[in-house]
Chain A
Amino acid sequence: MNTIAYITFRGMLGRRRALLLFILPAVLLLLSIGLRVTGNADLDTAAALLTQFGLGALLPLLALLAGTGVIGPEIDDGQIMYLMTKPIARPIISTTKYLVAVALVVGFGVVPIFVSGLIMNGLTAGLASGFALGALVGGIAYCALFVALAVMSRFAVTIGLIYALVWENLIGRYASGARTLSVRQWAISVTDLGTNATSVTSEVHGSTAVPLLIVLTVLGVAVAGWKLRTLSITGSD
């Protein structure tokens, strides 16, 4: 395995916060099993759970944990110096870390969302695969955003939480303009494209959501690389 990726994975999975990576998908899977066992896993309920909890909470929180966690703590405590004092272009460091974040989101977010869909409805109406696709593209974009934030600011987790909870969940509920600039809505839009379930509807059209997802991803990865290239680490004086 690539050395930067190896160190990053070890750092992410070896810390106590890794528990959070396991807890969120476990909650989703338990809820899905509960609905299935109690006979409440109809298409509408399943779509509501996957939209509200899967794409609305699990995905952004996981991406926030992974996206900021792969690089933020290393910058804060100076460990990033060990990677930066190598003859490696610094954008390669940030991009590798971004890919680790995406891999974690796929493992702990996209796969559980797919399995949750399968538990509740099998392959009916392409619900499971549609949500998995939406979660994948949403996760890719979220990670780019959060990795860039982590390189730019010490307060990346707070800013990310404000974005996911206040902007997407609260302001987005009342202001339609905010919904246009919401990764969550873009992910729902892509899910809508991938499933026949009528209960999945997005306020942002696919022709808007897909380009915006691409732009955010490219921009996030580029900004993280550019910022790391010129990152200043100050000493004790």
Chain B
Amino acid sequence: MSVLELRDVSRWYGNVVAVNGVSMTIGPGVTGLLGPNGAGKSTLIHMMGGFLAPSGGQVGIDGQRIWKNPSVYRNIGLVPERESAYEFLTGRQFVRSMAKLHKLSDPGAAADRALGMVEMLPPADRAIGTYSKGMRQRVKMASALVHDPAVLLLDEPFNGMDPRQRLQLMELIRKMAAEGRTVLFSSHILEEVERLANHIEVIVAGRHAASGDFRAIRRLMTDRPHMFAIRSSDDRRLAAALIADDSTRGVELTAAGLEVEAVDFRRFTQLLPQVARGADIRLWEVSPADESLESVFSYLVSS
């Protein structure tokens, strides 16, 4: 059982702040590090992996500092986002080399065990350069698991994987967590995190935006005001009809149509077609105006 701890961690590059005063504790189980692209997730994982010095604050594992402390790698397995492994080695040579570098007593057996865990034994004697993206990801995973670490850090592990590979990897991550490991993975895809993590940490623009149980955060996300852009056969009458209901907080009549701010997403989406039909108004276009992950995240930050 290992615990990663970040205390008031910041990282800046010149004048650019990549991570700003983040504190979190990551214990056993699956934790999802969620945030839009460029939010600072990789920077955080790199600091947790000891590849980047925090400009301020402390990053540690079980009370030990990580930066400039290679002994922590006995307990940490890291799967970097970048795809490249040693392409000239076979999967087995690669994982066995990693086992040897960990000075394991039987590197061959450890490598085969790790390759077996990710179902990579059959192609293990092929060069990594000939592997598909998913196979590379799994062989990287095997290299990170070969020394049976208590903590597993995965940077965007599902990037570029097909749905079947995703399911396999999710299953594997769940298994790792069930064995008592601390697994942290980063993702910018809400659904991935939802399916896998029981605890999430949300990072937006380098700041720690939310932390906790996924369902609570998801509720925050769906309960937020939603913006819709609507074009219809009679925008003015539709505006009047919508504003009469509690689910709508504001309506703006623009040259392009209506901009509606709904406070109750579910009620509004049921109400809109009924109101339109009742008033004999044709809806030409209804589109959510702020459904991007970034806007969801920025709402979280401001809430």
B-contacting residues of A (Cβ < 8 Å)? 3-4, 6-7, 10-11, 14-15, 77-79, 81-90, 229-237
**Interface-centre pick from B46, B53, B72, B74 (highest chain A CB count, 10 A):** B46
Look across to chain A and name the residue whose beta carbon is closest to the beta carbon of B206.
A237
For the complex, what is the distance from the CA of A10 to the CA of B82, rounded to whole Å? 21
Binary interface profile of B, 42-75, with partner A (CB < 8 Å = 1, else 0)? 1101100111110000000000000010111110
**A84-B51 CB under 8 A given contacts A77-B84, A236-B42, A237-B41:** yes
A232–B97 touching, CB < 8 Å: no
Nearest CB of B to A21, in Å: 15
**Interface-centre pick from B45, B70, B98, B155 (highest chain A CB count, 10 A):** B70
A232–B52 touching, CB < 8 Å: yes
Additional A-B contacts beyond A79-B84, A81-B49, A87-B74 (8; CB < 8 A)? A7-B97, A11-B86, A82-B98, A82-B143, A83-B101, A233-B46, A235-B81, A236-B156
Look across to chain A and name the residue whose beta carbon is closest to the beta carbon of B70.
A87
A235–B43 touching, CB < 8 Å: yes
Look across to chain A and name the residue whose beta carbon is closest to the beta carbon of B156.
A236
Look across to chain A and name the residue whose beta carbon is closest to the beta carbon of B94.
A82
Query: Which residues 62-110 of B have a CB within 8 angstroms of A?
Result: 68, 70-74, 76-78, 80-82, 84-86, 88-89, 97-98, 100-103
A3–B70 touching, CB < 8 Å: no
A10–B42 touching, CB < 8 Å: no
B18 adjacent to chain A (CB < 8 Å): yes
A-contacting residues of B (Cβ < 8 Å)? 13, 18, 37-43, 45-46, 49-53, 68, 70-74, 76-78, 80-82, 84-86, 88-89, 97-98, 100-103, 143-144, 155-156
Q: A residues within 8 A CB of B101?
A: 3-4, 83, 86, 88
Q: A residues within 8 A CB of B89?
A: 7, 10
A82–B52 touching, CB < 8 Å: no
Q: A residues within 8 A CB of B70?
A: 84, 86-90
Nearest CB of A to B25, in Å: 21
A sample of 8 cross-chain residue pairs with beta-carbon separation below 8 angstroms, ordered by A number, consists of A6-B97, A11-B88, A14-B88, A81-B78, A86-B73, A87-B70, A87-B71, A90-B70
**A3-B97 CB under 8 A given contacts A85-B73, A233-B46, A237-B42:** yes
Look across to chain A and name the residue whose beta carbon is closest to the beta carbon of B102.
A86
Look across to chain A and name the residue whose beta carbon is closest to the beta carbon of B84.
A77
Looking at the complex, which one of B49, B97, B100 makes contact with A85 (CB distance below 8 Å)?
A: B49
For the complex, what is the distance from the CA of A235 to the CA of B49, rounded to whole Å? 11
Closest 10 CB pairs of A and B: A235-B42, A86-B101, A233-B51, A14-B88, A78-B82, A237-B38, A3-B100, A77-B84, A237-B42, A87-B73
Nearest CB of A to B72, in Å: 8
Q: B residues within 8 A CB of A234?
A: 13, 42-43, 46, 52
Look across to chain B and name the residue whose beta carbon is closest to the beta carbon of A2.
B100
Q: A residues within 8 A CB of B77?
A: 85
Q: B residues within 8 A CB of A88?
A: 70, 101
B49–A237 touching, CB < 8 Å: no
A235–B155 touching, CB < 8 Å: yes
Look across to chain A and name the residue whose beta carbon is closest to the beta carbon of B82.
A78
Q: A residues within 8 A CB of B40?
A: 237
For the complex, what is the distance from the CA of A237 to the CA of B187, rounded to whole Å? 12
Q: A residues within 8 A CB of B68?
A: 229-230
Nearest CB of A to B144, in Å: 8
Looking at the complex, which one of A15, A82, A89 makes contact with B85 (CB distance below 8 Å)?
A: A82
Q: B residues within 8 A CB of A83?
A: 101
Nearest CB of A to B38, in Å: 4
